[in-house]
Amino acid sequence: MEHNIYIYILVTFIVTYLIRTLPLTLIRKPIKSRFIRSFLFYVPYVTLAVMTFPAIVNATDSMWSGIAALLIGILVAWFNGNLFIVASSACLTVFILELFL
């Protein structure tokens, strides 16, 4: 059976939109439960940390430039939290290292 690309796009859009919008619209009041509030407080740190490592090491052409980008990124973020500066330093690290590797 031949499928229509626009129906694929519609199906994936509906699923993705509902996943994001249901919690946003249904949970309107501050949550009372201390456990759930604590859980949601920790969610971003865990999720972003898990997504960063080890994925960053596999994202680059050379594993070593990925590891270097991770370390430089952590170091720069530690002393200067600016989003753009941290992201650029990680990119520059990879670019410069891969000129030599």
Partner 1 sequence: MSGKRGSDYISGLKMGIPIGIGYLAVSFSLGITAKNAGLTGFQAALTSLLLNASAGEYAAFALIAANAGYFETALMELIANARYFLMSCALSQKLSDKAGLLHRMIIGVAVTDEMFGVSMSRLDKISPFFYFGMMSLSMPCWSLGTYLGVVVGNVLPENVVSALSVGLYGMFLASIIPPARKNKIILAIVAVSMLMSLVCSLLPLLSQLSEGVRTIILTVVIAGAAAILFPVKEEEDGA
Taking the complex as a whole, the smallest distance from the CB of residue 68 to partner 1 amounts, in Å, to 10
C-alpha–C-alpha distance, residues 82 and 88, integer Å? 10
Q: Total residues at the site for partner 1 (CB under 8 A)?
A: 77
Residue 55 touches partner 1, criterion: CB under 8 A: yes
Taking the complex as a whole, the smallest distance from the CB of residue 63 to partner 1 amounts, in Å, to 12
Binding mask 57-96 for partner 1 (x = CB under 8 A): --xxx---xx--xx--xx--xx--xxxxxxxxxxxxxxx-
C-alpha–C-alpha distance, residues 33 and 77, integer Å? 32
Return the exposure string of 17-34: e unless at least 16 CB atoms fall within 10 Å of the residue's CB, then b: eeeeeeeeeeeeeeeeee
Taking the complex as a whole, the smallest distance from the CB of residue 62 to partner 1 amounts, in Å, to 8
Side-chain-facing half-sphere of 33: CA atoms under 13 Å: 5
